[in-house]
Amino acid sequence: FSPLIHPQDVKLAMKKFQQTLRKKTPPPFHLRVQSRSGGYLIAEFLGTPQIHGGEVVAIIGTAHDITKRRRAEDLLRKAKTGLEIRVRERTQELNAINKELEREISERKRAEEALKEKLSRLSEKSKYETIISAVTRSVHQSISLEKVLENAVTTMNENIDKSENVCIYLVEGKEAVMKAHRGLPDWFIRRAGRIPYSRGFTWKTIIEGKPVYCADIDRDDLIGPAGRDLGTKSYLSIPIQFEGMTVGALNIHSMKSNAFDEEDLNLLEIVAQQIGAAINNAKQAGALKESEERYRALYENNPSMYFTLDTEGIVLSANPFGFEQLGYSREELVGKSVLKVIHRDDHGAVLEQMANCLKNSGAVSYSEFRKVRKQGDVMWVREAARSMQNVDGNTVILLVCEDITERKRALEQIKASLKEKDLLLKEIHHRVKNNLQIIYCLLDLQSQYVKDKKTLQMFNDTCSRVRSMALIHEKLYQSKDLGKIDFGEYILSLTDYLIQSYGVNADPVSLSLDVEEVYLDVDTAISCGMIVNELVSNSLKHAFTDKIEGKKEISISLYSRNNKLTLRLSDNGVGFPSGFNFKKTESLGLQLVNALTSQLDGTIRFNRRPRTEFRITFRR
C-alpha cells in the first residue's frame, strides 16, 4: 500500500500503523493517495486493530475520499483568513478615519473660532477702510482743508466703535488749536480747544513726531484735567506731518481701558498721512490762488497788449490795455478775426507768422507789424507769439504786443540823419580828394620849371605823397562804409600808380601782392599808405640798378594775427650799404616811415638778407 501514498505522507502513515499495532486506535488521519489517473486525492483513514489472544492479528481500515471536502475546507480557511485580514485592515482604516475626523473636527472648531475673530477684525478693518476711503476721496475732491478735516472726524466717529470722540489739532504759533472734532461736549472744547506749547500728550506727539498710546490713564501723567473729567480711560494720538515737520495731531479717546491695538495705530497713521496731504493741497491751492491773483493783476494792468487767438486767428480774449489801445470794446473784438486790427499790407506776414507759430509749438517768434486802431490811425507794434495748449487741451496762440510807433519814427529819423551824414561825408572826402588833386597838379606844373635834379626829385616825391593821400579819400567816398577802407584794394591802386609814375615800364618790375581782406579806419589807412608809398618809391628809385640781372621783384604782404597787423615789404634789389642804420638816416622818406610807425604805436624790423625787407607790426 505504501507505493500509493504521497512520499511526504509515508512517514505519517507508518506512525499511525505502528500505533495501531500497539493496540491503540488513532483518530482518523488524512493521507494523499495516488488515484488511477495518476494524480493524488485526499483520503481520511481510520484503522481498528483486531486482537486475538492479546495480540493484534489484523487491522481493519476504512478510507473515505475527502478531496472535495478538504479543498472546500482549504478554500473556507483561506476565505476566513482573507476576511480576517480585511477586517483588520478595515478596522485600521476606520481607526485612521476616526482619528482624521477627530482632527478635522478639532481644526474646524479652531477655524470657526479664528473665523469668528477674523470676521470681527474684518468688520473693524472694513470700518477703517471706509474711513481711509472717505478721507482719501475728500482729499482728492476738495482743496478746502476745513471740509477735509470735518469729513475725517465725522467718518472716524461713525466707524470706530472703540472710540467715543475724536479731534484734530493743528499748530498755530505756540498753541495747538482744535480744528475739527466729534463727540466732545462744549465745556471740553472751551477748556481744551487751545493747548499751550509743550502741555499734555498732544504736544508730546507734535514735539517727538511719534504716536502716543495710553492703555490706562491711571498709569499716565500726560493727560490733562479736561481729559480726565471727560471720563477718558485710554487714548491714541497720531502725529500729522507736512514737508518733514509735525504740524498737528489726530486724537481719539475711549471710555474703556486697553481699547486700541497695533492695527488701530497703523490704520490711523494712514488717515493722518491723508490729512497731511490735505494740508499740502490747501497750501498749494492758496499759493495757486495768490499766483492767479498776481497774474490777473499783471495781465489786466500791464502796459503791454495781450491777446489770445484760436488756430484760425479768432480773438478769444485780450487784456483791458489791449482793448484800450486799439479803441475797441470787448464785444467788438472778441470772436472776430485778428486781421480786423492788422494793416492790410501786413495780412500775409501775420498769417505766415501764425502758421510758423502753430508748426513750432512752444517756440517764441518775434515780428513787427502795423495795427490799425478803430479811429483809423496806424500803430507799429513789436509782437511776440507762441502757441500752446490751454487748460481745456485746445491749441491757442498767445500774443504780447508792444507799441513801438515812436521808436519807429525815431529810427526813421536816425536813418534819414545817417543817410544825410553819409552824403555829407562822401562830399567831404570827394572835396578833400579834389583839393589834394589840385595841390598835386600845382606841384607837378611847378616841377616843370625846376632845373635842379635834386629839387625836381623833391617835387616828385612830394607829388607822390600827396597822391597817396588823395587816393585814400577817393577810395573812401567810393566805399559803402565811409569810416573804413579796403586796404588791399588801396595798395593795388597805389603801387600801380607808383610804377607808372617812376617810369619803369621799359624795364618792368614784377609786383607780388599777398594781402588779406583788411579794412582800416581813415587815420590808420593814411599812415599805412604813406609807409607803403615811401618804401615802394625807395625800391623803385634805388633798388634796381644796371647791376641787377634777372627778374626784378617787389613783394608786399599784409596779414592779421592775434589782433595785430603785419605789413611786410621786400625787394630783390641791390640792398642798403653795410653799416646802414635805418633809424639814423638823412633820408626824408625813411624818417617818415619811422615817424609813421611810431604814430601807429608799432614796431619796425629791417633785414638785409636774403632780400631787403621792412616788417612793420601794429595793433588794429
Asked whether the predicted pLDDT for residue 505 surpasses 50, the reply is no
Which structural domain range is residue 50 located in?
2-65
Q: Tell me: do 28 and 132 sit in the same domain.
A: no
Q: Is residue 380 part of a domain?
A: yes
Task: Grade residue 180 by pLDDT with cuts at 50, 70 and 90.
Answer: very high
Q: Up-side HSE of residue 506: CA atoms within 13 Å toward CB?
A: 3
pLDDT, one tens digit per residue, over 378-397 is 999 998 899 888 877 889 99
CATH number at residue 147: 3.30.450.40
Nearest to 253 by CA among 273, 274, 227: 227
The residues near 602 (Cβ < 8 Å, ≥ 6 apart) are 616, 617, 618, 619
**Higher-scoring residue by pLDDT: 617, 301:** 617
Average pLDDT over residues 244-259: 91
What is each CA distance from 317 to 267, 302, 306, 327, 334, in whole angstroms?
Answer: 50, 15, 8, 15, 6
Pair 207, 177: CB distance under 8 Å:
no
Cell readout for 545 is 640798378
Q: Tell me: do 588 and 453 sit in the same domain.
A: no
DSSP 8-state code for residue 342: B
Asked whether the predicted pLDDT for residue 559 surpasses 50, the reply is yes
Q: Tell me: do 258 and 333 sit in the same domain.
A: no
Q: Tell me: do 204 and 281 sit in the same domain.
A: yes
The residues near 402 (Cβ < 8 Å, ≥ 6 apart) are 304, 305, 381, 382, 383
So what's the pLDDT on residue 388? 87
Q: Tell me: do 369 and 390 sit in the same domain.
A: yes
pLDDT, one tens digit per residue, over 276-306 is 888 877 777 766 666 666 666 655 666 788 8
Asked whether the predicted pLDDT for residue 11 surpasses 90, the reply is no
The position carrying cell 629839387 is 455
The residues near 131 (Cβ < 8 Å, ≥ 6 apart) are 152, 155, 156, 159, 160, 267, 271
Total domains present in the chain: 5
Asked whether the predicted pLDDT for residue 426 surpasses 60, the reply is no
- Residue after which a domain boundary falls, among 356, 379, 403: 403
Task: Grade residue 441 by pLDDT with cuts at 50, 70 and 90.
Answer: confident
Pair 400, 457: CB distance under 8 Å:
no
Asked whether the predicted pLDDT for residue 434 surpasses 70, the reply is no
So what's the pLDDT on residue 193? 93
Q: Tell me: do 371 and 427 sit in the same domain.
A: no
pLDDT, one tens digit per residue, over 13-55 is 888 888 777 767 777 888 888 888 888 888 888 878 877 777 8
Asked whether the predicted pLDDT for residue 352 surpasses 80, the reply is yes
DSSP 8-state code for residue 314: B
- Residue after which a domain boundary falls, among 349, 368, 403: 403
Nearest to 180 by CA among 158, 191, 195, 165: 165
Asked whether the predicted pLDDT for residue 443 surpasses 50, the reply is yes
Q: Tell me: do 283 and 136 sit in the same domain.
A: yes
So what's the pLDDT on residue 9? 85
Asked whether the predicted pLDDT for residue 579 surpasses 80, the reply is no
So what's the pLDDT on residue 125? 62
Q: Tell me: do 394 and 417 sit in the same domain.
A: no
Asked whether the predicted pLDDT for residue 126 surpasses 90, the reply is no
Q: What are phi and psi of 228, to 5 degrees?
A: -70, -40
Average pLDDT over residues 345-352: 92
Percent helix, strand, coil in the chain (nearest 5)? Answer: 50, 25, 25
Q: Is residue 416 part of a domain?
A: yes
Q: Tell me: do 160 and 268 sit in the same domain.
A: yes
Average pLDDT over residues 206-231: 92
Q: Is residue 77 part of a domain?
A: no
Q: Is residue 176 part of a domain?
A: yes
Q: pTM value?
A: 0.37
So what's the pLDDT on residue 418? 62
Q: Is residue 75 part of a domain?
A: no
Q: Is residue 463 part of a domain?
A: yes
- Residue after which a domain boundary falls, among 403, 430, 451: 403
Which of 168-177, 542-551, 574-583, 608-617 is least confident?
542-551
**Higher-scoring residue by pLDDT: 217, 507:** 217
- In three-state secondary structure terms, 393 is coil
Bridge partners, residue 177, by sequence:
170, 194
Average pLDDT over residues 576-587: 78
Q: Is residue 396 part of a domain?
A: yes
Q: Tell me: do 440 and 389 sit in the same domain.
A: no
Average pLDDT over residues 355-381: 89
Reduce the secondary structure of 534-588 to three states and give it as a string.
Answer: HHHHHHHHHHCCCCCCCCCEEEEEEEEECCEEEEEEEECCCCCCCCCCCCCCCCH
**Top mean-pLDDT range of 230-239, 270-279, 421-430, 549-558:** 230-239
Which of 264-273, 293-302, 333-342 is least confident?
293-302
The residues near 617 (Cβ < 8 Å, ≥ 6 apart) are 564, 565, 566, 567, 602, 603, 604, 605
So what's the pLDDT on residue 455? 80
Q: Tell me: do 514 and 592 sit in the same domain.
A: yes
Q: Tell me: do 36 and 156 sit in the same domain.
A: no
Asked whether the predicted pLDDT for residue 119 surpasses 50, the reply is no
**Higher-scoring residue by pLDDT: 218, 52:** 218
CATH number at residue 24: 3.30.450.20
So what's the pLDDT on residue 531? 85
**Top mean-pLDDT range of 19-28, 31-40, 110-119, 477-486:** 31-40
Pair 545, 574: CB distance under 8 Å:
yes
Average pLDDT over residues 63-76: 82
What is each CA distance from 375 to 47, 326, 339, 371, 459, in whole angstroms?
Answer: 161, 8, 16, 11, 73
Average pLDDT over residues 591-605: 87
CATH number at residue 583: 3.30.565.10
**Higher-scoring residue by pLDDT: 93, 112:** 93
Task: Grade residue 250 by pLDDT with cuts at 50, 70 and 90.
Answer: very high
Q: Is residue 229 part of a domain?
A: yes
**Higher-scoring residue by pLDDT: 488, 231:** 231
**Top mean-pLDDT range of 194-203, 262-271, 593-602:** 194-203
